[in-house]
Structure 1
Amino acid sequence: MANEAQVFGVGRPKVWSIPPGADFLRALATTLAKETHLSEQPDALSDAIIYVPNSRSARALILALYDAAGEKSILPPDVRTLGDLESEEAPPNAETALVGLPPALSPARRLGALAALVRKFYEAEYRVDLPPASALAAARELSRLLDQAALSAGADWTKLDGLVEESDLAAHWHRSVAFLKIITAAWPEWLNDNNSMDPFARRLAAAEALAADWLANPPTAPVIIAGSTGATPAGRVLMKAALTLPKGLIVLPGLDMDADDEAWNAIRQSVSHPQNSLIDALDHLSVAPADVAAWPGIKEHETDTARRRLIHEALAPADATADWRATLKVLAKATGSTVEDFAVDALSGLTVIEAPDEAAEAEAAALLMRETLETPGETAALVTPDAGLARRVSALLKRWGVDVPPSAGVPLGRTPAGSLIGLCASWAIDPSEPVALTAALKHGFVKDRESLPVLERHFLRGPRRWRDLAGLRESIDTRGDIEPYASFTRDDQDVAIALVDRLIAVFDETDADLSVETLVDGTEGAERIAALAGRISEAPLPWAGEDGRGATKLLESISELSGQLGPMVPYALVDLIHAQSSQMTISAGIVEHSRLSIWGPLEARLQSASRVILAGLNEDVWPHRPAPDAFLPRRFRQELGLNDPEDRLGLSAHDFAQLACAPTVVMLHAARRDDAPAVASRWVWRLKTLAEGALDDKAAEALAPVGGHPLDWVSAMQDRGTGTLPKDFPVEPKPTRHPEGWPKRLSVTRIDLLQRDPYAMWAENVLGLETIDPMNAPLGPAPRGTAIHHALELLEEDGAPKTPQHLMALLEQELARVGEPKEDWVARRAVWQKTVDWYLNWRATRDTGGTKPKLEVKGELDFDIAGYPFTLSATADRIERTATGDLVIVDFKTGSPPSDKEIATELSQQMPLQALIARAGKYEGIAAAPVAALEYVAFKAKPDSRVVGTSRALTATPGELADKAEEGMKRLIANYRQPDTSFLSAPRVKFVKYDNGFNRLARRAEWAGDTEDGEGDNG
């Protein structure tokens, strides 16, 4: 083997670098295999120790070594993970055996202990019992600050008190600094009392112990630290020790080998620069950048060199990039080409695409990945820190049967098992709450849910009229008495009652009803919730697979947390479960695709693909702005020796630079995100600026896709109706389809609806849709009106006293039965009393000719219109017969009745049409007679009565109004029996009092300027 290919040996460099854009792990494996003759000696590296940033890199390196050995069986080296700065990779446990270290705290126990200290602080300082979920949120911030201190070599908390005394801070900062004594004083004391170590401190101690062992007993086998930027103290300790070993090597990722001393000095001052952590590590190791060698065996093409130089320049410190054109000339001269040729080479294979929004961005990414599969052997990787975008692309790929799960995993709460635990937790604190009950029973794991649609549709919607499952059972059993015209049957009631009985038994068996508890032990409560989840689901579904293991870990972490927090109210336990499940992530449990990947920036480190798609390149997405310190003034950080938060931007920029130098790269960003204008990432802006400085108006063409534009593909899919709506989809719906001869039967109120909102009539009668009440809805006008009507009907029963006391009792009874809260009745009792007194006075003045008025009378009248039969129906609230034998029709309204102007314009024909039915003798039990009056009675806070047709807006007899209404009705029905008549959405919006339930279906907000809730001017 030629000497220049050797990496081990006397006089060979100890620190190497693999350039960005190269397949890092494959280049590392290829040279190591060649150096050690791995194909001939399968155990050549079996004693070697190789450190890589994360477990994904470790798996990929072993596979690369297998390939480099000619796909022969090998004894792999001991590949360990250093742990990424942002990841939760465990510290290298193999080293802890070298020293008697106390055990490291688990993440859950650490958070629980910190949260307990937070609660203790608030109790001592403010006499406040802080809810566990709030304490946990504060503990997470403290944990983050502890991690930052552990990762900062010179952190010194003893300076904090002095800084506070010397600084003129706002009062809240003084309180925050006092709060920080939890980690400066209380936390070390807690660790000592509990014989525990903080995870990062233990990691550093383990690294120091290993380094000492290496110095005392130097390994003769290779020890290689590869792919680390040296951003952690533990990593730097191992790096420094590796330099002293006979076969110790450090292989850095993407060190800028072209930077001069002036550039390195500028980089040292810019913590957000991608090379900053690398130069800091080299300074710590006392290694000059010029002493770092290029890893052997890598051939760079001109385009690779140009791309690398351009990307490094695009990410250079801002004060070093003032004169772009002069910089471009220097870069071009270094490569021996003109500025334009240099830029063309650098941008070869690089594409920048601005999508109109994140939906189109996801579509474009999915199409690019799908296109990759058309070329045998090609691979593609989508890299984005936006978990939502990653999940969306994964879902879009499933349209073609391509399953590519995001490697970063999903929050446990979004998995089947995790979501079931969360739903059961919410359900346990109020077992009869409609939303919680329905959500839990609708879960895919639940075995007994066949009867749920009946229970949900008929008995859980509208106002809640019960407080527990027994009350729900009683409500279902008596609902038929309250709603005599309801759509459910007695069989429906029996089916729903049977389901509720089974749920009562489930809670009795599991003791999971936490609503009866004042305080609950977290471990015990979690076990009862777990028992509830297991009892209602098909065994062993909640605990099977990756998400099942995650659910088990969730319950274990809740047990650890609650062990520190002590007993808590049930709501706090449920908040704790939801908070923990949102923080825990698990893998999707799906085998990774052989050619396509979706990675986060952490998972993408040291990985490669034929086509790299960088998506989510918008400011505050990638790079993500560092979170502000919750408790520490930022200007204190440097005084305390804490790292600058901007160093995370530097690591993020390094990830971007490594990926952006791949041979084929597509960068995606959106012009709008979350329905608001978005700004492209600073890295994209700098790259575009350099391109425009070199190529002027040719820059856009150089950055454009080759071989078809992904956004054109998205547009083509829309034109074919695939995915989103086609471009020419009509905005305002104007449906015309309806059954032959429709409508054949309508009530008088439906006649008014057909005039005011034809689209709602079409949706109900042609599409067969119906509106349903939301759960836990406040008592609406319809059930309130039904209750008042029923109370007035009961008042007229024989033997019923016609007194204010009796009518008040009837109103209270009926309103309570339809869900009127007792407190609402008490609050409005005086108002109801005035209304009752007025009504009884009005009733006493009625001329009924000594006969008993008829209430809730049904009637029908048949017609033949446009060649088809038609039936008009009505239910009159009250019909009186006067002493002269004429009829008076009374309609009760709990709101404002229609005005005479509305009746005159034929937009409210309910009363005239009732007169039409009455004079024809078509009301049940009421003989034909002239209608003497049509009267509205407003039974409300300010009661009133009004006779229709006696105002300046309308002067007409009931007979004249009936004749006009009949003519208008026939004309209306005939019109809507024409096949080309459109059913418009609220064409006379001024006269529509409220949304009839179909404004969203009609998309009124898109074309009528209505408000988001669909009501617009309808109010």
Structure 2
Amino acid sequence: MARSGTIFSIAPHAPFLATLADAIIDGRVAPGWRREGPFWLSDFTIYLPTRRAANTLSRILADRLGDTPMLLPDIRPLGGDDPSQEPFIPPYEPVELPGAINRFKRRLLLAEIIERWLAVTGEGAFSAPGLGGVSGAPNGAEIFALADSLGTLIDDFTIARRDPRSLKSIESDQLPAQWQEHLDFVTFVLDAWPQILAGEGEMEAAERTNILLERKAASLALVHGDRPVVVAGSTGSIPATADLIASVAKLANGAVVLAGLDTRIDGGTLAALDDPKRNPHGHPQYGLARLLKRVGTLPKAVTELAPEEAPRTKILNAALGLPDATAQWQTVAQDLGAELQAGTQGLSLVVARTPEEEARAIAVCVHDALDHGKSVAIIAPDQTLARRICAELARFGVPLDDAAGTPLLLSRAGRLVRQAVSVLANGLNAVDIMALLRNRHVALGLGRGAVAPASEWLDLGILRGQRPLPGFDGLRRAVSDNRDGITRRPALKLDADKAQAVLGLIDALEAGLAPLAGLMARDEFAASAVAEVIGETIERLRDVPQDEKIAPLEGEDELARWIELAARQGARGPRLSGGGLAFALEGLMAGQSVRPRQPDAEDVQLFGRLEARLMDADRVILAGMIETVWPEVADPGPWMSRGMRLAAGLEPPEKLHGLAAHDFLMAAGGPEIVFTLPERAGTSPANPSRLIQRLEAFVGPEINKKMQERGAVWVEMARRLDATGLPPQPAGRPAPKPPADVRPRKLSITEAETLLRSPYDLYARHVLGLRRIDALGADPDHAERGTLIHDILGDFLTEGHDPQSADAFDAIMAIAQERYGRLDAIPARRDIWLARFGAIARAFLEFERDRPQIAWRMAEISGSIELPLSDPPFVVSGRADRIDRTRSGGLEIIDFKTGQAPAPKEMKQFFAPQLPLEAHMARVGGFVGAEGQTENMAFIKLSHGPKALEITQYAVPDGMSLADAIDTSFTLFQNHVAAMLLRDDFPMTARVLPKPSQRFKGDYDHLARTEEWTLLDGGEEGE
């Protein structure tokens, strides 16, 4: 039982540390201690939850004392002192405790145990279907995630001081088979874990802390005597801490200062908070009520140190009450009367569209506070949001870093590691190669001055739209193909110097990744081997010539420490594989952070929830107020269900909700509070935090509207931050009129239809000189696969194969095997495409064998003609898929389509001029060796379905012969060339006659801003 007058509380509306300092100085706390001379304050020992709170209290006390000469008190963070620093206090002999096992080493040991458990087979073996979301063989990342969750469960048992034998009290016969297996495994691990730690010569950090706190509690009276001891700000959620607080309360001059206790809690509420069946764990007073019960006092006996009652605290306590109390909200709100308006006057609610906009609005809000000389505290439990806020503040020149730091894997050093591993794990994928080479810290012994341009040449000359053969030798072969003209339409043709530079870059990259490649080629290896190889690989990647200085790399010191730590682990940990290393990296580097190096702005601080519990500022911003962030998900983990945890004597996961609610209560009590939340998180709607929803429901729609109006100011300013100040001007249909001498004097036959439908595309291509560059690392699309089919069918004939021969199918599939080998690195998908092509090949051979009238077949034949329309003459060129000579001496022209063939209506209206132009070129000798009159023209659609080859004969207008249609089509083409390309005054308009059946975007639609003006014009797509 605590002595009367030793338990205090500071309400949320009062600044906690400042109020505590005042109460210590003016004698309200430890009133029996004489406050005379320069040493009285140094006799105080004060325990606080965090080191940051301890440092802040020291500064506040120094400010309060001013010029008065005084020694400050001994302020310590809760958690216990190291045994080596303990004084000799009879009869409490000093102890030599083993060191605490570091989390990385523990993760490896637990992951190794889990891996062996999951690998057990045979009768009576454990199985883990669906364990932690794992189905099938788990990869390294999943095993490490399971190890972390198992470590958290070990911590829960250790902190709660529960004997693992309590698991035997769970009636496993009533559990599903999966939970029974999990329970057996957890029981085994908890029984064996102390022996495993003893073998390592270490102990659990939580157990070590428990021992130190227990020794501290037992020795308080002897160590401090009648000198004042104050413990402040703790909720006593750790049983050992609660015992220490209870011991302090019994001291002659001991004092316990709670944070945000509602001293008006009635007996019914206390009984509800003490009844697990009513699930009170999410209530902000739950932890404090349990602590008071442990101390042996009631809320009404607690002395409030806040100077006076405040409406804000009343509102928060009412809004966050038990579920049964919500029925009385209207009555409570009416009783508050004018206090309801006064208590919410300083509250603002920022509702942004996205987390990015939320961070920008917070930055604007911070900037405004600094302009008015106010201090700001930002509380952001979401580290991603915290980093966004820091980035947005940087545009205002406000230096701020997340105190939690950047995860090592997401730092620049970690990014370099991930990029190096991804290049090899993904089989030299183009995107991964360029991501690594564009990292400014990659020098490869050549220096960035050589790596950067060679990387661009590798990108444009080898990787864009090309399919190099596997491995580094495949990249070298692609360089040779580019130089020899084998590469079809590369984005960049390499000259000798560029090719040599690219080859040197490939050699350097292969040498730089060699240690990592050697490791990943092994069947299995330990985490220590990964660390050693990563260290060597990073050193090679960052190697610079002797005359250059190596650029500093964010996180390099932390990475070096991680490598040193991991390298010491020997064979500990699960067996890793090269294919799974990219996944395992997250688990290997989890928990390692890169701390900020630059000092924060003096008046702006960024906190997590625990750090912010006792801190205050003129303006407090509670960021990320959505479910899953504040509060977090109450997940019991994959090893034990909620009911199993309760049966074992552990707290349910909803305890986290109670801590989050208490942190919200303490943070929201200041004079000026800004709540922020996004409407969407990722691709899904975001649900506002239940704490915000309760507050909004309690204060009512009118006050809630005012809160949102005050917050909308910051959102509007954030949206205007990047605005130009001018209203958006929609684009009109472009119709440039370039001079005739810059318009094209040469067209391919495939561009003839473009000339009819969208001359602007020819303007962009030939006048502006713009060409579409394939996306880096893009999957093969329909057009590329169609081109490949054309090439295979063409190569089959140009290589001299006879469709009539018995081995024709094997010959054409051999060509396909070689060509498809470059198309896709995924064997299963490549096999599907080959199977589909097999259907096309059979139909193609059957089609050719049913054409006895053909005497000679010519595939992929190129030609050109000159039109005497200008000086120099206008040139028309092209390549025909097939021109076959019949036994009568005439020609048949075929165009193979993997897409849609032109509709007969389009042919009759001369909107499909390609085949007629090819026929005209053949008639006038444009195709050498294929001269003559055309007897037939057809489109053949290639597909793998039932109609593998669907023939569409060229349709001529009614009453017109094929020869007349060819002549008319050519005449119209000449007229269009003369009107559109040889005159200055004719506009080259975009999408004059858009193709109704076209469902894909053109190469220049984005340049023409087509989607803007087609909407304004009424959507001509359907015309």
In 2, Cα distance between equivalents of 1:91 and 1:963: 98
Answering whether residue 339 of structure 2 is matched by residue 342 of structure 1, we say: yes
Post-superposition Cα deviations, 1:853-909, rounded to whole Å, max 9, x if no partner, equal: 5853231544769x9996543223444667887665443445664454442344433
Distance 1:993 1:194 in 2: 66
Name 1:190's counterpart in structure 2. 196
| Aligned pair partner of 2:879 in 866, 871, 875 | 875
Does the Cα contact within 8 Å between 2:231 and 2:255 map onto a contact in 1? yes
Q: 2:363 maps to which residue?
A: 366
Residues 471 and 826 of structure 1, relative CA distance in 2, 3 Å threshold: same
- Residue by residue, what CA displacement relative to the aligned partner does 1:85-125 show, whole Å, maximum 9, x if unpaired? xxxx9999956994222222111121222222222323342
List per-residue Cα deviations over 1:691-712 (Å, max 9, x = no partner): 22xxxx7424643555982233
Q: Which whole-Å CA distance do the structure 2 matches of 1:753 and 1:76 have between them?
A: 84
Superposition deviation, residue 229 in structure 1: 1.4
Q: Which residue of structure 1 aligns with residue 378 of structure 2? A: 382
Matches within 5 A, 1:74-473: 77-82=73-78, 98-124=94-120, 125-126=125-126, 131-152=139-160, 155-165=162-172, 168-218=174-224, 222-269=228-275, 270-295=280-305, 299-300=307-308, 305-330=310-335, 332=336, 339=337, 341-375=338-372, 377-429=373-425, 432-447=428-443, 448=448, 449-450=451-452, 451-462=454-465, 464-473=467-476
Q: How many Å separate the matches in 1 of 2:8 and 2:1013?
A: 63
Q: TM-score with structure 1 length normalisation?
A: 0.83
> Are the aligned partners of 1:99 and 1:206 in contact in 2 as well (CA < 8 Å)?
no
1:123 and 1:800 map into 2 onto residues whose CA distance is 56
Q: Which residue of 2 aligns with 1:15?
A: 7
1:207: how far off? 0.7
Kept in 2: contact 1:877–1:891 (CA 8 A): yes
Three-state SS of the structure 2 residue aligned to 1:119 is helix
Is 662-671 or 180-189 further displaced after alignment?
Answer: 180-189
What is the CA-CA distance between 1:654 and the residue it aligns to? Answer: 0.9
* Corresponding letter in the other structure for 2:211: A
- Alignment partner of 1:991: what SS? coil
Question: 1:5 is matched with which residue?
Answer: none
Specify the SS of the correspondent of 2:572: helix
**Post-superposition offset of 1:613:** 1.7
CA deviations on 1:646-694 (whole Å, 9 max, x unpaired) are 11111101111111111011222334433444332222222223322xx
Q: Deviations over 1:361-406 (max 9, x none)?
A: 333222211212221x312223232333333333223333333323
1:309: how far off? 0.9
Using the alignment, how far apart are the partners of 1:661 and 1:555 within structure 2?
Answer: 45
Shift of 1:809: 4.1
The count of residues paired between Structure 1 and Structure 2 equals 965
Residues 488 and 640 of structure 1: is their aligned pair in 2 closer, same or farther, counting only changes over 3 Å?
same
Question: Do the aligned partners of residues 857 and 623 (structure 1) sit closer, same or farther apart at CA in structure 2, a change above 3 Å counting?
Answer: same
CA distance in 2, matches of 1:64, 1:969: 89
Q: CA deviation at 1:311?
A: 1.0
Q: Which residue of 2 aligns with 1:856?
A: 861
Distance 2:87 2:751 in 1: 79
1:181-231 residue CA offsets vs partner (Å, 9 max, x unmatched): 233323234234444322211110111122223234335654332221111
Instruction: Provide the C-alpha distance between the structure 1 equivalents of 2:43 and 2:230, rounded to a whole number of angstroms.
Output: 12
| 8 Å Cα contact 1:890-1:934 kept in structure 2 | yes
Q: Which moved more, 1:816-825 or 1:675-684?
A: 816-825
Query: CA, structure 1 residues 893+691, in 2 after alignment: closer, same or farther (shift >3 Å)?
Result: closer
In structure 2, how many angstroms separate the alpha carbons of the residues matched to 1:735 and 1:389? 42
Distance 1:385 1:864, change over 3 A: farther
Using the TM superposition, name which of 260-269 and 360-369 deviates more.
260-269
Q: Equivalents in 2 of 1:96, 1:206: separation in Å?
A: 13
User: What is the distance in 2 between the residues matched to 1:1005 and 1:679?
Assistant: 34
2:524 pairs with 519, 532, 538, which one? 519
Task: Please name the residue that 2:130 is paired with.
Answer: none
Query: Of 667, 676, 696, which aligns to 1:659?
Result: 667
User: What is the aligned counterpart of 1:632 among 640, 659, 664?
Assistant: 640
Where in structure 2 are there 5+ consecutive unaligned residues?
89-93, 128-135, 1016-1020
Distance (whole Å) between structure 1 residues aligned to residue 574 and residue 976 of structure 2 = 74
Query: Structure 1's 668 and 466: CA in aligned 2 closer, same or farther, altered over 3 A?
Result: same
TM-score relative to the length of structure 2:
0.83
Q: Which moved more, 1:175-184 or 1:317-326?
A: 175-184
Residue equivalent to 2:686: 678
User: Matched residue of 1:859: which SS?
Assistant: strand
**Structure 1 CA distance, aligned partners of 2:126 and 2:676?**
50
Q: Counterpart in 2 of 1:771? A: 773
Distance (Å, rounded) in 2 between the aligned partners of 1:252 and 1:541: 55
Q: Secondary structure at the match of 2:371?
A: coil
The structural deviation recorded for 1:62 is 3.2
Q: Quick one: distance in 2 between partners of 1:836 and 1:343?
A: 82
Residue 532 of structure 1 pairs with residue 540 of structure 2: no
Where 1:629 maps in the other structure, the secondary structure is: coil
CA distance in 2, matches of 1:21, 1:419: 44
In the TM superposition, residue 718 of structure 1 has moved relative to its aligned partner by 6.2
Q: Which residue of 1 aligns with 2:748?
A: 747
Asked if the contact 2:864–2:875 (Cα under 8 Å) also holds between the matched residues in 1, the reply is no
Q: Which runs of 5+ in 1 are unaligned?
A: 1-9, 84-88, 333-338, 1010-1016
Deviation of 1:416 after TM superposition, in Å, equals 0.3
Provide the rounded CA distance (Å) in 1 between the counterparts of 2:11 and 2:386.
28
Shift of 1:594: 1.8
Identity of aligned residues (%): 26
Question: 1:568-620 CA distances to partner (integer Å, 9 max, x unpaired)?
Answer: 32234443222233543333333212222333323322121211122222233
**Bigger Cα displacement from structure 2, 203-212 vs 112-121:** 112-121
User: Are residues 34 and 41 of structure 1, via their aligned partners in 2, closer, same or farther at CA, if it must alter by over 3 Å?
Assistant: farther
Q: Is the 8 A contact 1:408 1:603 kept in 2?
A: no
RMSD of the alignment, in Å?
Answer: 4.4
- Residue of structure 1 aligned with 2:652, choices 637, 644, 650: 644
The alpha carbon displacement at 1:987 in A equals 4.6
Question: What letter corresponds to residue 145 of structure 2 in structure 1?
Answer: A
In 1: Cα distance, 2:341 partner to 2:859 partner: 91
Amino acid at match of 1:385: P
Partner residue of 1:3?
none
1:798 and 1:169 mapped to 2: Cα distance? Answer: 72
Write the deviation string for residues 116-170 of structure 1: whole angstroms up to 9, x where unpaired. Answer: 22223233424898654333222222122222223335x34424334224x5332
Moved more, 569-578 or 927-936: 927-936
Task: Measure, in 1, the Cα distance between the counterparts of 2:1007 and 2:274.
Answer: 59
Quick check: 533-542 or 217-226, which moved more? 533-542
Q: Is the 8 A contact 1:80 1:92 kept in 2?
A: no
Does the residue aligned with 2:234 lie in a helix, a strand or coil?
Answer: coil
- Between the aligned partners of 1:274 and 1:604, the Cα distance in structure 2 is 15
Pair 1:92–1:814, CA change in 2 (3 A)? farther
1 CA distance for matches of 2:176 and 2:1013? 50
User: What is the alpha-carbon distance in structure 2 between the residues aligned to residue 306 and residue 528 of structure 1?
Assistant: 61
Residue 240 of structure 1 aligns to which amino acid in structure 2?
A
Distance 2:198 2:592 in 1: 28
